[in-house]
Homo-oligomer: A and B are copies of this chain.
Amino acid sequence: MHRPMIALVAALFTALPVAAEETPLPTVSHFMLENGLELVVIPDRRAPVVTHMVWYRTGAADDPAGQSGVAHFLEHLMFKGTAKYPAGTLESKVNELGGETNAFTNADVTVYFQTVPPDALAEMMDIEADRMRNLVLAPEVIDSERAVVLDERRQRVDSQPRTILSEAVNATLYQNHPYRIPVIGWEHEIETLSREDALAFYDRFYAPNNALVIVAGDVDAEAVKAMAETTYGKVERGPDLPPRHRPEEPAATTSRTVTLEDARVSLPNFARSWLVPSYRQAENGEAEALDVLSAILSDGPQSRLYQALVVKTGMAAQVGAAYGGSALDDGTFTLYGVPRPGNTLDDLEKAVATEVDELIANGISEAELERVKTRFIRSTIFAQDDQSAMAQTYGTWLTTERSVEDVALWPDRIRAVTPEQVKAVAVKYLRPAVAVTGYLLPPAAETKP
């Protein structure tokens, strides 16, 4: 039942924040229990369904050195049951109710969630509160679950050239920060993970004062708070954790390439990335400007890269830009492309660079900026239609040192972005001299270099 969805949060992020003007924001309630557990309740009364999520402020970037994958391994082991709720209880209860339960780990957080009818919420809270401290790990489950994770790695990474390349690009792009290490872990380190490693991680990070509970749905906030107090509220506070300061990146000094030739690749492609500030780190609206920059380059059929390289020259089968700004630490900005047969990867890469140069040389128009802002605001309205996505948005923002108010203010901050700011972040961050470019190639195809 439980399929970890690594990096789901990052993928969902840009589409989700809610608009302040066009649709009134839901009145989000925000509580802190006495034991330090943070609780957010998002009303959503359209259907008798509730999303319940527990966010632990710990992820793969907190794996101890040499134990990569332990955060994710523990996520698997969290389904092995407690004395009160033996393994399988959660899944069968949720199944009976026609709901869903799942979990995911990314570099910054580990998250468990269920979507169930509102009258099952108290029980879900009791189950999650129970496994927050009372997990029972029989030694015999360790080897079998480790084998499951290793198999997951083989399926998701080793059999996917795209993912193999992506691991190597991350390990090149980040020279010092643990984001360079795969969330699922290096195979040789997963193989050594022990019960003691998992329990040490659990004991350090799984406690009410390191958790955020989000409930979205057809519920009353005060009633949810009361339920939380009789479940999570009974869990003893853990030791205070130090601030989440991971090793930081040095200033980049070189351009780098990472190339994988693989017989399973049919279409060559490239992705050129830079480290840029995340929303948490950014100052002076740079994160919003990077979001707008990526949209101007590639959001929708009117975007610059699409118009120039798919519509006009037709040299690209795919082309785009993406800002990943939802991480606790450094974010990324990426330009990517797949040439249409008959066009070389090198030519497409140069054409994409030319579009960026053009934007830097001549800036963007107010009309173009307005179009992009309208699309952003509209997407936030659509996003409110998806209850669990709403819950994800609040979870992501609140676990990266941003607030409920920041969610509400985001559309205004996008509205405030100026053409000068967009140009400025392009100049400042998209410097060829420090780019890291991944190339995925069929064997003996055009090679880089």
Contacts and interface: CB of A to CB of B under 8 A. Distances in A.
A351 to B, nearest CB: 15
Give this chain's copy count: 2
Given A188-B248, A189-B247, A246-B66, A257 B171 contact: no
Contacts of A260: 253-254
Interface stretch (A175-183, A299-307, A319-327): A175-183
A138 interface: no
Interface string A165-196: 10110011001101011000011110000000
Interface of A is mostly: mixed
A331 to B, nearest CB: 18
A433 interface: yes
A256 B258 contact: yes
Contact of A257 (B165, B175, B246, B449): B449
A164 B248 contact: no
A255 B448 CA distance: 9
Contacts of A250: 186-188
Contacts of A261: 433
A175 B165 contact: no
A189 B186 CA distance: 26
Contact of A259 (B171, B256, B258, B346): B256
A244 to B, nearest CB: 12
A171 B433 CA distance: 16
Counting chain B CB atoms within 10 Å of each CB, the highest count among A66, A254, A257, A260 belongs to: A254
A260 B11 CA distance: 32
Contacts of A168: 175, 253-254, 256
Interface string A59-82: 000000110100000000000000
Interface residues of A, number: 36
Interface string A289-304: 0000000000000000
Nearest to A248: B188
B449 A247 contact: no
A433 B441 CA distance: 12
A142 to B, nearest CB: 20
A201 to B, nearest CB: 16
B253 A256 contact: no
A180 B175 contact: yes
Contact of A256 (B65, B68, B257, B346): B257
A171 B176 contact: yes
Contacts of A171: 175-176
A66 B243 CA distance: 14
Contacts of A428: none
A245 interface: yes
Interface in A271-297: none
Interface string A199-217: 0000000000000000000
Nearest to A255: B259
Given A66-B245, A247-B66, A259-B255, A176 B165 contact: no
A255 B168 CA distance: 9
A246 B255 CA distance: 28
A253 B164 contact: yes
A254 B245 contact: no
A256 B254 contact: no
Interface in A318-375: 346
A442 to B, nearest CB: 13
28 contacts: A65-B65, A65-B178, A65-B246, A65-B247, A66-B245, A66-B246, A66-B247, A66-B248, A68-B176, A164-B253, A168-B175, A168-B253, A168-B254, A171-B175, A172-B172, A172-B175, A176-B181, A186-B250, A187-B250, A189-B247, A189-B248, A254-B258, A254-B260, A255-B258, A255-B259, A256-B256, A256-B258, A256-B259
Rank and list the top 7 A-B pairs by shortest CB-CB distance, nearest first. A171-B175, A449-B449, A66-B247, A168-B254, A186-B250, A257-B257, A255-B259
Interface of A: 65-66, 68, 164-165, 167-168, 171-172, 175-176, 178, 180-181, 186-189, 245-248, 250, 253-261, 346, 433, 448-449
Given A165-B254, A254-B258, A261-B433, 7 more contacts: A164-B254, A168-B254, A175-B180, A188-B248, A256-B257, A256-B259, A257-B257
